[in-house]
Amino acid sequence: NAVSGEQLQKMDDQELKRVVLNTTVFARVSPEDKLRIVTALKEHKHVVAMTGDGVNDAPALKRADIGVSMGITGTEVAKEASSMVLMDDNYATIVSAVEEGRTIYSNIRKSIHYLLSCNIGEIITIFSSILVGVGSPLTAIQILWLNLVTDGLPALALGVEPAEKDVMKQPPRKPDEGVFAGGMGVKIVWQGIVIGLLALAVYLLALRWGRTLPEAHTMTFATMALMQLVHSFNARSMEHSIFNLGIASNRSLIFAFFASAAITAAVIFVPFLREFFDTALLRVSDWFVVFGFALIPLIIVEISKMIKGERVAVRESQ
């Protein structure tokens, strides 16, 4: 439906509020009426974007959630009132800006997802060992290393993750939507529990096999570190498999993975670091256990993504 400026001026605010939901075009409207349209849409809890270039457009640009002004032909007043300035005066740039904004927000969530699930894993490992009565699987300095070094680089690398292919196909999120929406909070918890229990299992195996306490600590430390590095690839997408994304499509994450792995390996293999961090050299059979357990979270998360994808496909086909 279309409404002309003349028709709009004859409507009171209540009538406009009713009409605005069923109208796709408002033609030849005054700056004052633009402000009324923006206000009516916002009263319906819509997220409103407004474009303009003149001095009279400033009130509507200011009132809108996202005011967009022209960088070349726009007035300084309009630019000051808006939250986005199109430097090339090209409306297609708005689409690129939306894509970039969605990608940035998504990457923030990925970093939070990764860091919190890893931290919960460490907490679960420590508290579970206390409940079982087998002592702490990690020393204080090893826990500090995992938090400051092992987690740090991958979390930063997730912040520059390329945009997912369907980022512009996703519906707009609600303005009051929390960062843990969409089931992310639940995923953080259950993935953290998996990581924590697997690390505890390695520690219990080491003790059962008669390993010394430094060896058991080192097996747990190496497993937790490698498990967290592998888990960073899980955090690249909430829905898509890493094999569909392309394992090497985020080169920063690849660098972070190998850099963190190398630094952590030095803690085990370099003599003076080994003494400082209270680690020990491991047997070849122990390393098989470390690598095997470190891959389990990746396998579990990939299976959960596959199951969720099949459910979505069935729902869409019905």
The helix/strand/coil state of 26 is: strand
Statement to judge: residues 11 and 77 lie in one domain:
yes
Statement to judge: residues 89 and 219 lie in one domain:
no
102 CA to centre of own chain: 10
Q: For residue 271, give the amino acid letter.
A: P
What are the φ and ψ backbone dihedral angles of 7, each rounded to 5 degrees? -65, -40
Statement to judge: residues 139 and 85 lie in one domain:
no
The distance in angstroms from the start CA to the end CA of the chain is 31
d(CA 114, CA 48): 32
Mean pLDDT, rounded, of the chain: 92
What are the φ and ψ backbone dihedral angles of 50, each rounded to 5 degrees? -130, 130
Statement to judge: residues 199 and 50 lie in one domain:
no
Residue 128 within a domain: yes
Give the C-alpha distances (Å, rounded to integers) separating 31 from 10, 38, 45, 107, 190. 15, 11, 22, 38, 52
Statement to judge: residues 291 and 167 lie in one domain:
yes
Statement to judge: residues 185 and 258 lie in one domain:
yes
Residue 11 has pLDDT above 80, yes or no: yes
Statement to judge: residues 115 and 76 lie in one domain:
no
Statement to judge: residues 129 and 89 lie in one domain:
no
Statement to judge: residues 271 and 178 lie in one domain:
yes
Residue 246 within a domain: yes
Q: Which of 72, 93, 114 is the last residue of a domain?
A: 93
Statement to judge: residues 72 and 116 lie in one domain:
no
State residue 149's pLDDT score.
Answer: 87
More confident call, 298 vs 165: 298
Residue 193 within a domain: yes
d(CA 304, CA 310): 10
Statement to judge: residues 297 and 209 lie in one domain:
yes
Q: Which helix (H) or strand (E) is 51 found in, with range?
A: strand 49-52
Residue 141 within a domain: yes
Domain limits for position 191: 104-317
- For the segment 8-36, the average pLDDT, to the nearest whole number, is 91
- For the segment 65-88, the average pLDDT, to the nearest whole number, is 92
* Cβ burial 80-91 (10 Å sphere, 16+ → b, else e): ebbebbbeeeee
State pLDDT tens for residues 143-154.
999 988 899 999
Residue 170 within a domain: yes
CATH of the domain at 32: 3.40.50.1000
d(CA 297, CA 190): 11
Give the pTM: 0.88
Q: Which two tokens stand for residue 311?
A: 């459910």
Residue 243 has pLDDT above 90, yes or no: no
